[in-house]
Chain A
Amino acid sequence: MKNKIKTIPRYGKDKRERLYLPAVLDGLKVTLKRLYENITDINSVDVLEYPEEQPKDITSRYRGLHRLTKREDESIRCVACFMCATACPSNCIFIEATQRDDGIDEKMPKSFKIDLLECIFCGYCVEACPCDAIRMDTGIFSITGKKREDFVLDKERLLSHKGAFGREYSVAGK
């Protein structure tokens, strides 16, 4: 137990630091050294040249754009139970339920809309879903549009998104 205690030295008490000006000069030395090193070799600055280079470090836990998953037979997994819409803190999920006639299940959404301008990407809908029908594993982090309507994703668009991390189909049973 004893060797786990780490004492952090408290700075700012000795005379040199209380004079403040030497400390200012120390700080300036650090920043100007960085500035000099980077300005003499700008291409050594390790940055992501964003639009050309895309980030490669998006993990499977990253909350990207939503998608609706499918069953193994390529039909929609969602049973329109409204759990996600209930859990949603910003009330941006709009579901209309309908009878499901193909014998796979009893209920399915007629329309499933997510308003991305309201969405805060908290992931509560994913947590709430009992059927693993909605996921945020597309890895899409940048959403653009020219008018407000572009940001309301409908069922077809949500179904068309592909999972970026391998697991394509819903893992909830039947």
Chain B
Amino acid sequence: MSTAMLVTTLGSVILAALLALLMIPVLVWLERRGAGLIQDRLGPNRTNLFGFRLGGVVQSFADVIKLVFKEEYYPSHIKKARWLFMLAPMITFSAALLAFMVIPFADDLVIDKEILKIQALPVDYGILWFLAIGSVGVIGAVMGGWLSHNKYSLLGSLRASSQMIGYELALALSVISMVITYNSIDFNQMVHFQSSTVLGFLPAWGVVVQPLAAVIFITAVFAETNRAPFNISEGESEIVAGYFTEYTAMKFAMFFMGEYVAMNSASAIVITMFFGGYQLPWTDTKELLDNFTFFAFALMIVIPSVIFFVIRWMRKNNRVRKSVSTDGGRDFETKVLTIALIVMTVVLETILFYIGVVDKSDITSKIAVMLFQIGVFVIKLMIFNLFFIAVRWTLPRFRYDQVQTLGWYYLLPLSLLNIFITAIVVVGVSS
């Protein structure tokens, strides 16, 4: 094992852990403020550390501190099986976390003819891993609901398990049609396929090649992550909080965070399978490496313009209202953040100029392209997470029987039909 391999493997494990875990407070914040802004409210925006509110994201950390220090409560009938009661949220959380580990964050790095995967788990059967691990999460829900010895919890876990049977078939079958299309079960091969074009001008993204499978997969993935409009197993208006009614403090937080990690993983899978993964449309890694100087200069124009708009938005919006005179300190925050952003841009520009013009060695450009692809991946991830959030605050929850009907009567036949069509087209094209 070479040093480069060690570094990339360690780096991608750390990156995956950071992306999955650090995204939780950001996603909770995005959800709450996004919901607020969609509903003409503001959402949490007061909590600060030394006057730094960062738009309210500090609130999530305050919530974590609160949850850590809350009372540990167990239902009184649980005497010996406490560890089982605690295991349930852990299963849900780890299943969601593990599903994230097979996502390629960037193209394979080739150093001295050694192929290094930028993947926390460097496996080449990613989609099978996702199908296997993704459905384990429901075991936690079933265990939690059953052990709670509470009718609402039991109803919640019943709903979770029957819903799982309903959508899992459609999910797996839509994946099969994608596997036939890409002729691979490796996520990285799928992204490679998607960096080409179809009909000469459209990017060969999964959503363009297989729109029906994309719709089925995204619908099913909403159900798998227990997000609205399919959060019937939680169903707070009908069955209190479903399977985690009896859970408190960090045990509840594990379920809660598991939902967001699952949402993040689902976004990552959808991006990798249907929206070109870490690749920009119309380009692939080779193209980026061949025109590296041009690409660096393009970035040198794009980054400052984005930062310019961010700063302008912040200066306009990060200010105290006239009606509120005592809530001070935002001018200072704006000033510091503006300076930090400008310094960051200058540093990035210098680095880009250096690697684009001065240091034209092969390895620097490869690493730069890798970092760029990670950036593209994170941006796409955030956009899709925002889509998840927007859908949650747009659609009302399905009724329990409607979910079953949708899964069995519509998604399942449609995905079967899609497999037939895909197989016929693939055979017709190749023969």
Where the two chains meet, the residues of A that have a C-beta atom closer than 8 Å to any C-beta of B are: 21, 24, 27-28, 30-32, 34-35, 38-43, 45-47, 49, 52-53
Contacts and interface: CB of A to CB of B under 8 A. Distances in A.
Interface in B315-371: 316-317, 319, 321, 323-327
A53 B37 contact: no
Contacts of B319: 43
A23 to B, nearest CB: 9
B390 interface: yes
A39 B37 contact: yes
Given A43-B319, A53-B323, A30 B42 contact: no
14 contacts: A28-B394, A30-B394, A31-B38, A34-B37, A35-B34, A38-B37, A40-B317, A41-B316, A42-B37, A45-B42, A47-B41, A49-B323, A52-B323, A52-B324
A47 B41 CA distance: 6
Given A31-B38, A45-B40, A24 B325 contact: no
B313 interface: yes
Contacts of A41: 316-317
Contact of A34 (B38, B313, B324, B325): B38
B391 interface: yes
B325 A52 contact: yes
Contacts of A31: 38, 390, 393-394
A24 B319 CA distance: 35
Interface of B: 34, 37-42, 215, 313, 316-317, 319, 321, 323-327, 390-391, 393-395
A27 B396 CA distance: 11
Nearest 5 pairs of A and B residues by beta carbon: A38-B37, A27-B394, A52-B324, A42-B317, A49-B324
A48 B42 CA distance: 10
B323 A42 contact: no
A43 B316 CA distance: 9
Contacts of A24: 391, 394-395
Contacts of B40: 34, 38, 45-47
B326 A52 contact: yes
Given A45-B37, A53-B323, A35 B390 contact: yes
Contacts of B316: 41
B317 A52 contact: no
Given A31-B390, A40-B317, 20 more contacts: A21-B215, A27-B394, A27-B395, A28-B390, A31-B38, A34-B37, A34-B39, A35-B37, A35-B38, A38-B38, A41-B316, A42-B37, A42-B42, A43-B321, A45-B40, A45-B41, A46-B40, A49-B321, A49-B327, A52-B324
A156 to B, nearest CB: 32
Contacts of A32: 390
Most buried by B among A21, A31, A45: A31
Contacts of B390: 28, 31-32, 35
Nearest to B317: A42
A30 B313 CA distance: 22
A105 B321 CA distance: 55
Nearest to B46: A51
Nearest to B410: A20
A27 B37 CA distance: 15
Contacts of B41: 45, 47
B394 A52 contact: no
A32 B383 CA distance: 12
A116 to B, nearest CB: 24
Contacts of B325: 52
Contacts of A53: 323-324
A108 B325 CA distance: 47
Nearest to B387: A28
A54 to B, nearest CB: 11
A27 B324 CA distance: 34
A17 to B, nearest CB: 14
A11 to B, nearest CB: 14
Contacts of B327: 49, 52
Contacts of A43: 317, 319, 321
A143 B256 CA distance: 31
Contacts of B38: 31, 34-35, 38
A49 B42 CA distance: 10
Contact of B42 (A21, A40, A47): A47
A102 B21 CA distance: 73
Nearest to A49: B324
A42 B42 CA distance: 8
